[in-house]
Amino acid sequence: MVAAGLLVLSLVAFAQGAPTPDVMRVHERRAAPPNGFVKTTPGADADSAVVSLRIALKSDPAPLHKALLDVSTPGSANYRKFLTKAETDALVAPSADGLAAIDAWLSSANVTSTPAATNQWLNIDVPVASANALLDADFQTYTNAETGKTAIRTLAYSLPKSVQPFVDFVFPATSFPVQSAKGVAAVHHARAPLNPAHPVRAAVAASCADTVTPTCLQALYNIPTDPATSAKNTLAVSSFVQSNASTTDLSDFLTSFRPDLSSQPSFEVTSVDNGVNDETDPSVEGSLDIQYTVGIATNVPTTFFVVGENNDGDVGGFLDLVNTFLAAKTPPTTFTTSFGFPEELISADLAQNLCNAYAQLGARGVSAFFSSGDSGVDDGQGGTCTTFRPTFPASCPFVTVVGSTTGISPETAADFSSGGFSNVFDQPSYQADAVGNYLSLLGNTNAGLFNTTGRGYPDVSAQGVSYQVNIGGTVSPVSGTSASTPLFASIVSLLNDRLIAGGKSPLGFMNPFLYAGGQVALNDVVSGSNPGCGTDGFPAKSGWDPVTGLGTPDFKKFSTLLGI
């Protein structure tokens, strides 16, 4: 029981506006660490170990999404009138009140923040004991016995009531390291037989049905061999998990498969997170990506962005790479990434943050391409799936996602080509008609196994089987959406070169254009499927489908459509 006198004093204090306590509220919580991670017995200096945290600042994404669609949708008065860095920064800037509240909170704990590469993040480095006090958390060291990776993480953290409305999340507080998967298929079964009803194009050698080279792709998709001319048009290739590329292998590859080139094109290397391109140890992924960008996008300036490993896992590398692009006054015109994650292993907040970062790039005129994955309707993480499992960033509605085909007479869906529907992102308006048509054709097939209202992917596709790649001096066949994605990006780079050389804007975020008429420049793929999770997966059908998207490219048709 409270004494009457104390009660009166409390009421008086309240009436006079005495400050109320800044109550801590749980902001994120997970029930347990992910499979494979176990808590490690802490050492004597555990509390003094320093943890690096990033505070994601909240802003309303609606104006950004509106601006992106405004500059990306044919028929809009602002179509391809892209925003500047300053304009996009202003769209996503956190509120002044929010910054003040966060600064007051950190200052009261004697914690100093440092600005990040973009205005949507703050960085702090604090001892574990201080992090626990600041966030009412319990940071511990966890170890993954299979990978040997260790990480200092907490299963929950809280934020003051005054701060919570202004913070999206703290990374990587409850996010454990996740390694991205390469878009290279380990096993391939599908093969389209030659069909007399669909004869091979005269310009396409019959051998291209089994062995894909630059010459095959140039003939199949009408890709020009003449060199690009604009220095303002650039192509970026993303590299993770020590995917290295060799200039010697590239030179030998070009000698064998692009002997028409009068000189030996090369590529620049840029390091992110202390990444190193070890040319003495070329990988399948790195070799494939570089050889089929430099070898197809003739003379387009190409940069290999090598992202190093850290305790944030590859998700942290994805954040750092896109923020590197956003921080640049002039980001690459086109970039291609052949890596991804199971969508369910990435927190929804983090996925939304990354997706909005790609939206910022699109608003600035960047065409971003990601592989759909190589596990059919599954996400490649193993184990038993009872429903279809999508991949990310393929599920992000603000990037263009590439699936795989095989065969030339006709092209058919490669059975590994991942596709499906997001469980995090809603279906964007630009693909509503195309997806609705497919679901109508699909009927009750796979009913209950996927989210019918989610973002559908891939958007497009291209050849993805038996690419001839020089790896350490030996030419080997490589298959996967890792092959299809840099190819499609290279074709767009060549289109952008002609647009820019003609005084026009590049294509930027292509999806609204592709779904609103651009499909006439694509070859519809109507056979094959992407099995997984104990099913035959999704069948390819007329129009868009979640295995080959809207179809494969035709450079000449795109050129005609774009008036170049």
Burial class (CB in 10 A: 0-12, 13-18, 19+), 2: exposed
Q: Do 450 and 507 sit in the same domain of this protein?
A: yes
In a domain, 349, yes or no: yes
Whole-number pLDDT of residue 15: 37
Do residue 163 and residue 255 come from a single domain?
A: no
| Assigned domain for 255 exists | yes
- How many beta carbons lie within 10 A of that of residue 61, not counting itself? 17
Residues of the chain with pLDDT under 50: 1-18, 187-200
Q: Give the count of domains, the chain.
A: 2
Residues 363 and 295 in one domain: yes
- My answer on whether 343 and 490 are in the same domain is yes
Spatial CB neighbours of 440, under 8 Å, sequence gap ≥ 6:
none
CATH code, domain carrying 522:
3.40.50.200
Residues 162 and 186 in one domain: no
Q: Are residues 424 and 484 in the same domain?
A: yes
Identify the pLDDT of residue 241. 86
Q: What is the pLDDT of residues 247-300, one digit of tens each?
A: 999 999 999 999 998 777 789 999 999 999 999 999 999 999 999 999 999 999
Do 258 and 282 sit in the same domain of this protein? yes
pTM score: 0.93
The answer to whether residues 295 and 326 belong to one domain is yes
Q: Which domain holds residue 137?
A: 23-59+94-177
* Residue after which a domain boundary falls, among 177, 200, 223: 177
Residue type, 391: T
Note whether 374 and 389 are same-domain residues: yes
- Of 177, 205, 220, which marks where a domain is finished? 177
Question: What are the Cα distances from residue 50, in Å, to 47, 71, 129?
Answer: 8, 44, 9
CA neighbor of 222 nearest in space, from 533, 508, 522: 522
Among 131, 152, 177, residue at a domain's last position: 177
Judge whether 387 lies within some domain: yes
Residue 84 maps to a domain: no
Q: Does residue 5 fall inside a structural domain?
A: no
348 within a domain of the structure (yes/no):
yes
Q: Which residues are catalytic?
A: 285, 289, 482
pLDDT at position 186: 53
114 with 186, same domain: the answer is no
pLDDT of 563 reads 96
pLDDT at 183: 56
Per the domain annotation, does 7 fall within a domain?
no
Is the peptide bond prior to 172 cis by the omega test (within 30 degrees of 0)? yes
My answer on whether 112 and 245 are in the same domain is: no
Is residue 155 domain-resident? yes
Residues 36 and 170 in one domain: yes
User: What is the per-residue pLDDT for 146?
Assistant: 84
